[in-house]
A = this chain, B = another copy of it.
Amino acid sequence: MARKESISSRMVLDTAFEMAREEGLKNITARRVAERAGCSTQPIFRSFQSMEDLMDGVYERAAAFFQDFYALYPKLGEFPFANLGMAYISFAREERELFRMLFVSAEPKKSLYELLNGGAENVKAEIQAAAAQGCPDPGAMFTKMWIFIHGAACMSLTGDYDLSDQETLKMLESVYRSFLKERESISPQDIVRQEGSLFSELGDHGNELGGTK
C-alpha cells in the first residue's frame, strides 16, 4: 500500500551520533548527515522535527553511551573512587568529544548527578566504601576526589595529561590515601553549602552515611 522505509530514524541517529563522537556537535549539518547516511536530507526531517531535535537525540544517546561505558568498565581498583575515577578519566580520553558534550559544554542538559548512572547509586556506593574504611568525613572526601578526577579528565582534553591507565590508578590511590590521612580537614558545612549544586545534591542523597550535612 506504500513504499517501504529504507532509512529509519535509528539509522539517522546512528549516523549523527557517530559524527558527534568523532568531531563534536559543532559541524554537524543536515546535508553532511545525509551524505554520510547515503541519502538525501528528507529522511532526516521525516524522523526528526528539526536539527535541534536530532541534536537532542544525539545528546541522549551520548548520555546512555557513557552509562554503558561506566557500567562495563573493568573493576580494577580496590580503594573507593577507583572505578568511578578510572571510568570517568578513561571516558574523557577515549571519547573526547562526547565527554566535552556531556561534562564541559556550556549548556548541560543533564546534571552530573543524572549522568552518573541515573541516580548516582554508584557514587553513593563509593562514599559508603570510604566511610567503611574509616574516612572521617566522606562528604569532603567525595568533593575533593571528584574535583581531582574531573581535573585529570579535563586535562586530557587538551593533551596536557599523558599518564597511562596504570599510572593514573596509582595516582588516584595515592591521592585518596593522602586525603584519608588529613585530619584537620575543613568542616563539611564549608563544603556543602548551597542548594542545587552537585555537592549538596549528592549530600542529600547520601547523608545517611556520615553526617555529611
Proximity string of chain A (5-19) to chain B, C-beta cutoff 8 Å, 1 when within and 0 when not: 000000000000000
Q: Does A160 contact B (CB under 8 A)?
A: yes
* Interface footprint category on A: 35 or more
Residues of chain A in range 154-191 having any CB-CB distance to chain B below 8 Å: 154-155, 157-163, 167, 170-171, 174-175, 177-179, 181-182, 184-186, 190-191
Interface of A is mostly: helix
Chain B residues lying within 8 Å of A106, measured Cβ to Cβ, are: 24, 100, 157
- B171 in contact with A191 (CB, 8 Å): yes
Contacts of A158 in B (CB 8 A): 103-105, 108, 112
A100 / chain B contacts, CB cutoff of 8 Å: 106
User: Chain A 133-164, CB within 8 Å of chain B: the 1/0 string?
Assistant: 00000000001101111111011011111110
Q: Which of A41-49, A58-66, A193-201, A203-211 contacts B (4 or more CB under 8 A)?
A: A193-201
In the complex the two chains form, is B163's CB within 8 Å of A174's CB? Answer: no
Contact with B along A112-148 (1 / 0, CB 8 A): 1000000000000000000000000000000110111
- The residue that A151 contacts in the complex, of B151, B160, B171, B194, with Cβ under 8 A, is B151
The chain B residue with its CB closest to the CB of A182 is B178
* A167-B182 in contact given A152-B147, A154-B104 (Cβ < 8 Å): no
Q: Within 8 Å CB of A144, what residues of B?
A: 148, 171, 174-175
Chain B residues with CB under 8 Å of A154's CB are 104, 150-151, 154
Out of B108, B170, B190, name the residue touching A170 (CB < 8 Å).
B190
Known: A147-B152, A154-B104. A160 touches B191 (CB 8 A): no
Between-chain CB contacts (< 8 Å), 26 pairs: A24-B106, A103-B158, A104-B154, A104-B157, A108-B159, A112-B158, A144-B148, A146-B151, A147-B151, A147-B161, A148-B151, A160-B198, A162-B194, A163-B190, A167-B190, A170-B190, A171-B186, A171-B190, A174-B186, A175-B179, A177-B182, A177-B184, A178-B178, A178-B179, A181-B181, A181-B182
